[in-house]
Structure 1
Amino acid sequence: MTDLAAETAAESVADMAHCREAIRTGSLSFHAASRLLPGRVRDPALALYAFCRLADDAVDETADKAPAVLALRDRLEAAFAGRPRNAPADRAFTRVIETFDMPRALPEALLEGLAWDATDRRYDTLSELRAYSARVASAVGAMMCVLMRVRDADALARACDLGVAMQLTNIARDVGEDARAGRLYLPTDWMAGVGLDPQAFLAAPEPDARTAALTRRLLAEARRLYHRSEAGVAALPVAVRPGILAARHIYDGIGGAVARNGHDSISRRARTGRARKLGWLVQAGLHAATVTLLPRSAVLHAPPLDETAFLVRAAADPRHASQGWGDELAAVFAQLAATDRLRAGPLDGSGARPS
């Protein structure tokens, strides 16, 4: 091995170690589920998830979201150009792109969802909320299928069901935390149906029978999609089935914890301890064995959700893969850039911004 090759290999190992640590401390649920994946999938999955998680945190944890999203746009452009930012997660993600021929439309969809967060978009209907969930969660599920070398449209549709279910569970768990940060994901037509005013709720989020009913309704939709997603597991390689089912059971278990709290996710945060996670890992292993023995369910061939169909097309057929930002996303970027310029203040006479 040449010195350059040895240096590149050492950098790759160091980058993966960084990604593992980022996931171990930043996402206990994903880290637990990933332990059941075979190494050939686990390592690229950790690289993928580290990039996605750090991207989400970059937007979620800053008050000035516009420049954060625009910086992510530039990082994604650089990764697909083969010139990643000099950071472990970016370098590791670029290797994933090159190794697995990752369709650009998939991480673009994730970035679009983060851009929606940055513009404080609200969702009037469950369909609109599913469209958001498709971008921030199902896009990751479709990318996971690519890492497994699975491009079957039916399997992808069920993976996208799982992504939406997981995101709806996250939203149900975080109703109070989001509201206190000025974020609202509950469908506003649901809120109107129980007499809740969005602005009044954000000003003073309090648990009551109405918010419990909305949380219960979100979890019911998530549970429906968890069950639909199970049919797709049989279309995945045998070795990855326990890991995917672990993610399904762990996140569904979070929803169960919310239910045990009386569907109050405003004054209480649902928590799942290590013992419960271990139990779900065991359950996932047993479930995977059952999937292997039983005939495939006809639900496998159900059409994708309307809101996730674009992801299925992009992952299943490279001809649908984006080669650049779509018009809607470009318009969101333009809106964010204008917001960023306004916040930065006017240019002085030399064309520079005053310090």
Structure 2
Amino acid sequence: MERGEKLVRRLGARSSSNFKFAFLFLSPAQREGLTRVYEFCRVVDDIVDERPPGPEGRAEAEAGLAQWTEEIARIYSGSGSGSGSGSGSGSGEDPQTELGQSLAQTIAEFELPRYAFDEIIAGCAMDLDIVTYPDLAALELYCYRVASCVGILCIGIFGDQSEVVQRYAKHLGLALQYTNILRDVGEDAARGRVYLPIDLLERHGLSERDALNCTYDGRFLAMAEDFAELAEAEYRRAWAELAKIGDLRPLLPAEIMARTYYELLRELRARRFDVFTHRAALRRRDKLRVAAISLALTSLPPELPGVRAVRAALV
């Protein structure tokens, strides 16, 4: 089985196959490029998540992340990266890992910005120390690093790196990550983590201990609705940027992801945020409907009569 197929299966297992539908609309070169970016994300994430316990495990994870920081520097300092954005002061050596070498090809082909890779590593490093977030500002920084910056790399591969599209990717990354956080409250609690902002919990009479104990009552419902509104606001901000873009065709895979996760947020609301006994997921027919809506939104030329009105209705 090829590396890309393995990764798609792995991603599907972790996210209810939502990535598979987006992959269907990519060219072979884009699919391979996205595979390499996702491999990088999984590698640095696993360095932290799968580290041995105790100080030795922490030291091992810090060393692993530092090695990848150096590997990214080598990629951008070498002649093969082809990207002038964010080039660093590396040694000029070639990448030392197989993934680094293939990633250098993707970076050169799609001119991906270095800062996004560095921010992803910094986001993973936050998980070494932080198990709770005091407020939304602290959580937003984490989500920007581990989600929005992944989105910025993805939209580069999709074919548009304009400022407005990068803003779209930033807000969409936050929206997707907030949706994930709400869906995975119970799973994160089992790992000793609380991603919901502590001040939001406290506003509703809840504590970190309540979140870890998976307390489900009226206070939790009110808190979850407030957090869902934060996620929805980020979807709306992303779609407001989308309305400013002329050619939406490169963003079809992103919109499939956006609308899939927006439907997941609606599913969470419909089930009264019971994330402890049921994991929200879309049926296949719902995913197909989302893909059809995304295709209609992104494929119609904006100069045709009525297209802008249709787009406004869909967003």
Q: How many residues align?
A: 284
Alignment partners' CA distance in 2, 1:55 and 1:256: 31
Partner SS, residue 205 of structure 2: coil
TM-score by length of 2: 0.79
Shift in alpha-carbon separation, 1:245–1:149, aligned structure 2, 3 A: closer
Do the aligned residues in 2 keep the contact of 1:45 with 1:147 (CA within 8 Å)? Answer: yes
Do the aligned residues in 1 keep the contact of 2:135 with 2:198 (CA within 8 Å)? Answer: yes
* % same residue: 26
Give 1:154's aligned amino acid: V
Structure 1 stretch displaced more, 224-233 or 16-25: 16-25
Residue among 130, 133, 138 paired with 2:143: 133
Do the aligned residues in 2 keep the contact of 1:155 with 1:236 (CA within 8 Å)? Answer: no
Do the aligned residues in 2 keep the contact of 1:37 with 1:242 (CA within 8 Å)? Answer: no
1:84: Cα distance to partner? 4.0
Aligned to 2:215: 206
1:156: Cα distance to partner? 0.9
Alignment partners' CA distance in 2, 1:170 and 1:52: 16
Name which structure has the greater RCO, CA cutoff 8 Å, separation 6+.
1
Aligned to 1:261: 271
- Equivalent residues in 2 for 1:235-250, closer than 5 Å: 235=245, 237-250=247-260
Alignment partners' CA distance in 2, 1:156 and 1:150: 8
The one-character-per-residue Cα deviations of 1:244-273 (angstroms, maximum 9, x if unpaired) are: 210111111221221122112133321223
Alignment partners' CA distance in 1, 2:134 and 2:49: 21
Aligned to 2:308: 294
Aligned to 2:39: 50
2:20 pairs with 1:31: yes
Give 2:190's aligned amino acid: R
1:98: Cα distance to partner? 3.0
Alignment partners' CA distance in 1, 2:222 and 2:65: 36
Give 1:294's aligned amino acid: R
Aligned to 2:61: 68
Partner SS, residue 294 of structure 1: helix
1:85: Cα distance to partner? 5.0
Alignment partners' CA distance in 2, 1:159 and 1:236: 16
Runs of 4+ with deviation above 6 angstroms? 295-298
Shift in alpha-carbon separation, 1:119–1:23, aligned structure 2, 3 A: same
Give 2:107's aligned amino acid: I
Give 1:70's aligned amino acid: A
Partner SS, residue 41 of structure 1: helix
Do the aligned residues in 1 keep the contact of 2:134 with 2:199 (CA within 8 Å)? Answer: yes
Aligned to 2:280: 270
1:75: Cα distance to partner? 2.6
- Equivalent residues in 2 for 1:143-222, closer than 5 Å: 143-202=153-212, 204-222=213-231
Structure 1 stretch displaced more, 191-200 or 97-106: 97-106
Do the aligned residues in 1 keep the contact of 2:168 with 2:238 (CA within 8 Å)? Answer: yes
| Unaligned ranges ≥5, structure 1 | 1-12, 299-355
Alignment partners' CA distance in 1, 2:264 and 2:301: 23
Task: Indicate the RMSD between aligned Cα atoms, in angstroms.
Answer: 2.8
TM-score by length of 1: 0.71
The one-character-per-residue Cα deviations of 1:280-333 (angstroms, maximum 9, x if unpaired) are: 1112112224584318999xxxxxxxxxxxxxxxxxxxxxxxxxxxxxxxxxxx
Shift in alpha-carbon separation, 1:32–1:85, aligned structure 2, 3 A: farther
Query: Quick check: which has more Rg, 1 or 2?
Result: 1
Alignment partners' CA distance in 2, 1:256 and 1:91: 41
Shift in alpha-carbon separation, 1:85–1:268, aligned structure 2, 3 A: farther
The one-character-per-residue Cα deviations of 1:195-226 (angstroms, maximum 9, x if unpaired) are: 11213532x22211222222222221111211
